[in-house]
Amino acid sequence: MIRLTVWNEYRHEKKNPKIAEIYPQGMHGAIASALAKDADLKIRTATLDEPEHGLTQEVVDATDVFIWWGHMHHQDVTDPIIERVHKRVVVGGAGIVVLHSGHFSRIFKRLMGTTCDLKWREANDREILWVTRPGHPIVAGLDDHFVLAAEEMYGEYFDVPEPETTFLISSFTGGEVFRSGCTWQRGAGKVVYFRPGHETYPTYHDKNVLKVIHNAVRWAAPNAGLKSPTFGNRKVGWIDQTK
């Protein structure tokens, strides 16, 4: 059983009727309901405007994998919550799957330690996502590429530490390219970045996009029996030196 918390800023959907039409239950609702077909997932959702952004200590402690979508209001996520999620990933070994404009979220920047900046354009670019790590669990079930008819463009240079795995690269109508699927280990936890998902497009209804998110959640989940690391002073005598 993987305990998944799908976190979304959830303000675009409340303010813009066109976005609400695409995502009547919010982007978190669309993702959660698609993944609910997997009986191994215990899914909850959390949003920015809930108390503690829906990420109380209890919720965070009971989360094996987070999905994170944010865009306009990254700065509204408060320090104690960032600290709490960061610790849960790095020390607790939880996974986090950061989507699209979550590249600028405070939690992703904290985990990466770089600006996480990139180029962008909203001009209905066609996006082709090419598999660059066949055999990796996150691309299981995909063809060698898939196409999104219209998306926001993100272009290199993407200022992140060199990924440990780059499993997808995108090309766009305008000629730009982007490392759209990347993984890193941070402490005991696994981090995935997956690019698509601008709020004005029905991207989180696309079967290939949902497949990648689903695979990413399963990949990022802590290994069974993971023990949190221990730190601090170690007294002499913890092991019998005579044996």
Q: Which residues bind Zn ion (CB under 5 A)?
A: 101, 152, 198
Q: How far is CA 62 from CA 57, 66, 78, 142, 158, in A?
A: 8, 11, 20, 31, 32
Closest CB 52 distance from Zn ion, rounded Å = 26
Nearer to Zn ion, 12 or 88 (CB): 12
Q: Least distance (Å) from Zn ion to the CB of residue 199?
A: 6
Q: Which CB, 157 or 185, lies closer to Zn ion?
A: 157
Q: How far is the CB of 197 from Zn ion (least distance, A)?
A: 7
Nearer to Zn ion, 63 or 101 (CB): 101
Cβ-based nearer residue to Zn ion, 101 or 170: 101
CB of 153 to Zn ion, least distance (A): 10
How many CB atoms within 10 Å of residue 90? 18
Contact 14, 53 (CB under 8 A): no
- Nearer Cβ to Zn ion (64/151): 151
Minimum Å gap between C-beta 161 and Zn ion is 22
User: Minimal distance in Å, beta carbon 201 to Zn ion?
Assistant: 9
Nearer to Zn ion, 88 or 195 (CB): 195
Q: Report the residue number whose CB is nearest to Zn ion.
A: 198
